[in-house]
Amino acid sequence: MESTEMPKKNQLTSRQLQSLQTKHKLYERAIHLMKQHPLEEITIAEICNEAGVSVGTFYTHFSTKSDILVEMYEQADDYFDQKFKNLVPSSSITADIINYFKIYAEYNNKLGIETIKQLYTCNNKLFIAKGRYMQNVLQALIEKGQAGGRLDLSLSAWEITEYLFIAARGVIYNWCLHDGAYDLQLKMDNYMTRLVIIFVV
């Protein structure tokens, strides 16, 4: 039976590595432009000009300009994986959940207020897509807390995950409404510190 595993970066050919680098460059330049203009006002030609590649090369990596947003979510999962897996679990499940959302706020802050504003629209259904790595990590953390008798069992781990994400997105949306006028990571920390305790038993 043929393996479905993706090859690791150190197993890729030089041509595959170059392709990944080109895709990353296109993504990075698109994000750079999004910090100055809405994505709908940015042309594919402008992105390609910034990246120093042809328009045809763009379509090798992305089907549409909107795929930049999909890539943004995949990049978020990668960022989260690198950050969260290096955290040493504490003896407090609440501290672990709060740290989780610190990383979530950190990534949003890293992308910048103008970019995040473009994500927070009712048309962005990626927010409610299930099965993302980031969601699965939090759900597993909550399941661990429930199994250890430290978190409420009246709601499923998925329901608590969804509950917390709705709140976290509200904090970020409020940050957008205030044009990034306050420290997002500090606000997220304060908010989640008060919220998570309602699930502790």
pTM higher than the cut 0.85: no
Write down the pLDDT at residue 6: 45
Domain count, the chain: 2
d(CA 30, CA 80): 21
Domain shared by 134 and 181, yes or no: yes
**pLDDT category, 9, cuts 50, 70, 90?**
low
∠ CA(100), CA(104), CA(107), 5° rounding?
A: 140
Identify the pLDDT of residue 1. Answer: 35
**Domain range holding 56?**
10-61
Tens digit of each residue's pLDDT (9 = 90 or more) over 137-164: 999 999 999 999 999 999 999 999 999 9
Answer yes or no: is pLDDT of 86 > 80. Answer: no
Which ranges in the chain belong to alpha helices (H)? Answer: 14-34, 44-51, 55-61, 67-84, 93-111, 113-119, 133-147, 157-177, 184-196
CATH number for position 48: 1.10.10.60
* Cβ count near 158 (within 10 Å): 15
Q: What are phi and psi of 178, to 5 degrees?
A: -95, 15
Query: Contact at 8 Å (CB) between 46 and 33?
Result: yes
Q: Which residues contact 151 (CB under 8 A, 6 or more apart)?
A: 93, 142, 145, 160, 199, 200, 201
Structure tokens at 199: 């699930």
Indicate whether 78 and 171 sit together in one domain: yes
pLDDT one-digit tens code per residue, 88-115: 777 899 999 999 999 999 999 988 898 8
Q: Which CATH number does the domain housing residue 124 bear?
A: 1.10.357.10
